Amino acid sequence: MAVVAHNEEDVKLLARLLRAEAEGEGKQGMLLVGNTGVNRARATCLDFKNIRTIRQMVFQSPGGFEATQKGYFYQRARDSEIALARRVLRGERFDPARNSLWFFKPSGSCPAQWYNQNNSGRFKSHCFYIPTRADCPQVY
């Protein structure tokens, strides 16, 4: 059962986002980006109060993903990324992005907090950040 309503175009859109944001991080890195995106579409809190669909999540501005805002969101979705997108849309969740709403790639170590959100861990070059359960229970 899907955790976020979607159609086939949404699956491909999410798959493109996974590729654009984390292709260099491998399959696991792309799944983590997918978890963050799905969490944003599920959340009704913080910067994501008006985000309800995959399309809104992918193209959120301001506060959205760097790939869509800086112009490297142009490659088509491949079968491998489509399969990963389907997994996260079905509800598969992975640490450290299980409850994350944000990630970024610092030049050094992960700060303990980023915009008042706690670090939940690192995977390769990306640091993941989570809201508190009180601030955003929908992602827990």
Q: Over the stretch 13-72, which tens digit does the pLDDT of each residue have?
A: 999 999 999 999 999 999 999 999 999 999 999 999 999 999 999 999 888 898 998 877
Q: Which residues pair with 102 in a beta bridge?
A: 129
The per-residue pLDDT for 92 is 97
Q: What is the pLDDT of residues 72-100, one digit of tens each?
A: 788 899 999 999 999 999 999 999 999 99
- pLDDT-above-90 percentage for the chain: 86
The per-residue pLDDT for 74 is 86
* Over residues 126-131, mean pLDDT: 97
The per-residue pLDDT for 4 is 94
Contact 123, 28 (CB under 8 A): yes
Tokens, residue 119: 């670090």
Helices within the chain (DSSP H only): 8-22, 26-42, 54-58, 66-69, 79-89
Radius of gyration of the chain (CA): 14
